């Protein structure tokens, strides 16, 4: 028996990395998990792992910056599983290492389209099901919003917008029994890995800030934190951000 038996979850950007770890952690607690990713092969690989864990999975390939594609994805989930109980907005793309003065409109569109706009699209599309059922939303943000990162203006701005959207939704949707929370993870994402390869001194500096001097694991650390916020023990937790970063500021 898992804490999420019978629940239906959507995890965006779960074709690999942090999203895959989150999806698998939810599946191991009994949730049926839909993986939405622009990388269809990655989404299918995650679903294979979910099914090996004994849960039901569905892979959807979609450009989540397109509201019509998001609506279609949610409709497909409801057609397959009947509802949506848990929404995890993990996906985020951005062009890294770009000086602020050189940021283009396309860079802004990429970061905000896959980040806060996609979060909004999924939250809006899932709302009718969340309010009539279980109702959990977990959005991924970043400690880098406060720290700032040279060359990552669009990324940190997008993550900041996700935090603001989440706080507003928590205020508005609490009346419907929906909780909306964020996680700021300390985990080696592809973007962070690229940054550290280009800036090895930053890697040493970040590890030095951690009370637990290691990087988080996508499934056992970040995924389990999502399981908590998605589970029954967090029914009175909303509008907050959980930092899962080993006790240190981290470029997540």
Q: Which residue has the tokens 């400690």?
A: 143
CA–CA dist 18, 37 (Å, integer): 12
- Give the pLDDT confidence score for residue 215 in this predicted structure: 87
Residue pair 118/89 in contact (Cβ under 8 Å)? The answer is yes
What is the predicted pLDDT for the residue at 252? 46
Give the mean pLDDT of the chain: 94
Q: Predicted confidence band at 249 (pLDDT cuts at 50, 70, 90)? A: low
**C-alpha dihedral, 189 to 193 to 196 to 200, nearest 10°:** 130
Please give the share of the chain, as a percent, with pLDDT higher than 70.
Answer: 98
| pLDDT attached to residue 235 | 97
Under DSSP, is residue 132 helix (H, G, I), strand (E, B) or coil? helix
Has residue 73 got a pLDDT over 80?
Answer: yes
- Is pLDDT of 56 > 70? yes
Token reading at 71: 């609506």
What's the pTM value of the predicted model, to 2 decimals? Answer: 0.94
Tokens of 25: 């952690």
Task: Quote the tokens at residue 217.
Answer: 């694991």
pLDDT at 194: 81
Measured distance CA(105)–CA(120) in Å, rounded: 20
Q: Among residues 152, 155, 203, 236, which one is catalytic? A: 155
Q: How far apart are CA 115 and CA 90, in angstroms?
A: 8
Residue 155 annotated as catalytic = yes
* Residue in the structure block whose two tokens are 């967090």: 234
Of 1, 17, 15, residue with least CA distance to 222: 17
Q: Is 63 helix (H, G, I), strand (E, B) or coil?
A: coil
Q: Which residue has the higher pLDDT, 250 or 98?
A: 98
pLDDT above 60 (res 115) = yes
Please say whether the dihedral angle defined by the alpha carbons of residues 9, 10, 16 and 21, taken in this order, is positive or negative: negative
Collapsing DSSP states into helix, strand and coil, what is residue 183? strand
């Amino acid at each position: 028996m898992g804490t999420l038996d019978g629940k239906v979850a959507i995890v965006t950007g779960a074709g690999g990395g942090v999203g895959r770890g989150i999806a698998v952690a939810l599946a191991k607690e009994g949730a049926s998990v839909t993986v939405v990713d622009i990388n269809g092969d990655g989404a299918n690989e995650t679903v294979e792992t979910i099914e090996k864990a004994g849960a039901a999975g569905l892979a959807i390939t979609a450009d989540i910056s397109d509201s019509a594609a998001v609506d279609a994805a949610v409709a497909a989930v409801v057609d397959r599983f009947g509802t949506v109980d848990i929404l995890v907005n993990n996906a985020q793309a951005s062009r890294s290492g770009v000086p602020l003065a050189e940021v283009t409109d396309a860079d802004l569109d990429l970061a905000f389209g896959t980040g806060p706009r996609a979060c909004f699209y999924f939250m809006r599309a899932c709302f009718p099901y969340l309010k009539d059922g279980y109702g959990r939303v977990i959005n991924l943000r970043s400690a880098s919003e406060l720290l700032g990162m040279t060359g990552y203006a669009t990324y940190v701005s997008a993550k900041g917008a996700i935090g603001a959207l989440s706080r507003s939704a928590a205020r508005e949707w609490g009346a419907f029994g929906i909780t909306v929370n964020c996680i700021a993870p300390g985990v080696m994402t592809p973007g962070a890995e690229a940054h550290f390869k280009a800036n090895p001194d930053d890697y040493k500096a970040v590890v030095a800030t951690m009370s637990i001097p290691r990087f988080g694991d996508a499934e056992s650390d970040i995924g389990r934190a999502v399981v908590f916020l998605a589970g029954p023990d967090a029914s009175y937790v909303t509008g907050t951000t959980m930092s899962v970063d080993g006790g240190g500021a981290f470029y997540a």
